Amino acid sequence: MSEGIGTLRELRAALDARKTSSVEIVGECLRRAEASQETLRAFVGLRAEAALREAEESDARRERGEVRSPIDGLPIAIKDNMVQTDEPTHCASRILEGFISPYTATAVEGLERSGAIVIGRTNMDEFAMGSSTEHSVEGPTRNPWDSDRTPGGSSGGSAAAVAARIVPAALGSDTGGSIRQPASFCGVVGIKPTYGRVSRWGLVAFASSLDQIGAFARTAADCAWVLEAIAGHDSRDSTSIPEPAPAYSGALSGDLSGLRLGLPKEYFVEEGVDARVLVAVRDAVADLERAGAKTVEVSLPHARYAIATYYAIANAEASSNLARFDGVRYGHRAAGAKGLTEMYCRTRSEGFGAEVKRRILLGTYFLSAGYYDAYYRKAQQVRTLLRGDFEQAFMGCDAIVTPTTPEVAFRLGEKTSDPLTMYLSDIYTVSANLAGIPALSTPCGFVDGLPVGLQIFGSALDEATPLRIADGFQRITDHHTACPGGAA
């Protein structure tokens, strides 16, 4: 393991061949996490003692022939906005300091049922609000490909941990691109499922109609395994889709012949995107065509309004969701406040970072009397139009492919003083959340030694097709096998 932790499938094969043990794998992950912390800061907390104990239990199950699933005994990290019983969850925010969860998120329960071992919590933008993992009380995470650059956000810690070969897989959350954008920047696979496919119960809410838990791994096949463990109906989440998740691994045939790939003309314009990113994406499309896929032009005419629509809806919902953090029940409370109102004001002022405050203020404004119809209601109407665009486009294709991001990973500090420029990092990703459809990013090339991501949209409830396309693409290319220099 001197060259880093292998993929889930490589580790599974080693366990089955008795070449290693779960204890050895988990121990190596913990060692690498600790050793990389000063340079990457991918983690905000490790479960060393508990994880090793669970690894011992998994090894004992294996000896008894009672393996629970393909990921039994394998280590996975979770983002710091998913709760786990008796473990801290801080959402990278001071306002939740000291909070210990009394229950476990449904998605994390899915990992536990499968025998996977949560080794720790990964760094993130505070309350998942950001595109660079710089808005964290723990400090920024760094990109394994270039420590002067961002890993993306808000799930930057999870993406960096997988890219640096610290863990084979990790969970993240995606509200407007927070899985796919860091997956692109870090050169790994990241999938956001259909809204409602994975329960949000136990995920600390940012924007409730947009948030979705998904997975990071180095291959699409590994993402399929993780998704099989965490997807499915949950009666505790009223937005959970009331049907079982399919066996995604069964769709990974490697055969792409006859698949129709839609190329939205609005996503392949030169303005606002690094031309070299477009070249890498077009080369990837050509590879898919050589593998038997067909391409057709489609249109998403309301895509130009996606960013404005997203930030109106997301900030409005954030304003409502974050009202619960007031210093009364848990987390940080301002000391020495004279009266309840002063305690509320000082607690929230001290506890929230600048970006979270900005979004709360904007969201409160969008919901205020006299502005609700002009902003929030109008944004919901545009969201309906955008969803209709995708429904129309999917009548003529099986999947839609685009760039994941308009550029490769930017430098830390480069955009923190200009929030609008930072927000535009999500220009290609937010539409999937607004429409509620699945989307995936897979590595498809490099620009100046930094990874480029290919984004694949699927129709509602069809995560299998993007996974199938990404898996087929990885069988004929090797972009996903490249390793950042500092990972070993």
Annotated catalytic sites, by residue? Answer: 79, 154, 178
8, two tokens: 């889930």
Distance CA 147, CA 159 (A): 14
Longest dimension (CA), the chain: 70
Distance CA 159, CA 277 (A): 20
Contacts 24+ apart (CB under 8 A), 224-227: 224/248, 224/249, 224/251, 224/252, 224/467, 224/471, 225/8, 225/9, 225/69, 225/70, 225/71, 225/169, 225/249, 226/8, 226/71, 226/76, 226/111, 226/169, 226/171, 227/191, 227/193, 227/198, 227/463, 227/467
Q: How many angstroms separate the first and last alpha carbons of the chain? A: 9
Backbone angles phi, psi at 465, to 5 degrees: -65, -50
DSSP 478: -
DSSP secondary structure of 403-439: ES-SSSPPBTTSSTT-HHHHHGGGTTTHHHHHHT--E
3-state SS class at 17? coil
* Residue 111 CB partners (closer than 8 Å, separation 6+): 71, 76, 78, 118, 171, 226, 229, 230
Distance CA 59, CA 65 (A): 10
* Residue 419 CB partners (closer than 8 Å, separation 6+): 355, 358
Instruction: Report which of 22, 3, 30, 10 is spatially closest to residue 167, judged by C-alpha positions.
Output: 30
Instruction: Report which of 444, 454, 450, 468 is spatially closest to residue 267, judged by C-alpha positions.
Output: 454
- Pairing assessment for the beta strands 294-298 and 260-264 based on DSSP bridges: parallel
3-state SS class at 223? helix
Amino acid at 469: I
DSSP 88: B
Region of 259 on the Ramachandran plot (φ > 0 left; ψ -120 to 50 alpha; else beta):
beta
Beta strands in 233-364 (DSSP E): 260-264, 294-298
